């Protein structure tokens, strides 16, 4: 493999299982543990007037600060899991829409492989929306690991 393995980690048990399984399959590989922080303006479906209030009041800024802190903690925890699984991992947090951000980060880091959990539904027949979009739009190999 040329670039690092990109391990997508949202703090869920399905994502943790994906990291553990990646370690079994790819021991000693360099890995980036990516956690995506979704900004308030993308997460909160607010009407235009509410959007203005969110920006002016500082609600969006507070949301984003908290979301970034949570994402950084998830990335650190995912990195610990990856290291325990035998990967040479480092954490990375990036703000944006999850699937788009995963694809952009994979390209910018020339990831050899994108690894993610199957999503909350947990079966390959019914992938989560993020994993489905990543599989359909990726220009590099993607490994989707179902939860146990």
CA angle 3, 20, 98 (to 5 degrees): 60
Asked if residue 10 lies in contact with residue 36, where contact means CB atoms within 8 angstroms, the answer is yes
Q: Which residues of the chain have pLDDT under 50?
A: 122-125
pLDDT of residue 111: 98
48 CB-contact burial (10 Å; exposed 0-12 / middle 13-18 / buried 19+): exposed
Query: pLDDT at position 123, please?
Result: 42
Give the pLDDT confidence score for residue 61 in this predicted structure: 81
Give the pLDDT of residue 124: 44
Element holding 34 (H helix, E strand): strand 30-37
What is the residue extent of each domain of the chain? 5-145
Multiple choice CATH, 5-145, 1.10.510.10, 3.30.450.20, 3.40.50.620, 3.40.50.300: 3.40.50.620
């Amino acid at each position: 493999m040329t670039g690092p393995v990109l391990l997508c980690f949202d703090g869920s048990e399905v994502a943790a299982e994906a990291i553990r399984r990646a370690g079994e399959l790819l021991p000693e590989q360099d890995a980036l543990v990516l956690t995506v922080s979704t900004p308030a303006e993308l997460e909160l479906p607010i009407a235009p007037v509410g959007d203005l209030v969110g920006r002016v009041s500082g609600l969006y800024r507070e949301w984003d600060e908290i979301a970034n802190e949570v994402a950084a903690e998830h990335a650190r925890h995912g990195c610990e899991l990856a290291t325990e699984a035998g990967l040479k991992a480092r954490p990375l947090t990036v703000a944006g829409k999850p699937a788009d951000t995963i694809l952009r980060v994979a390209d910018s880091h020339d990831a050899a492989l994108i690894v993610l959990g199957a999503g909350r539904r947990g079966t390959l027949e019914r992938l989560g929306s993020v994993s489905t979009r990543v599989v359909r739009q990726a220009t590099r190999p993607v490994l989707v690991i179902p939860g146990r």
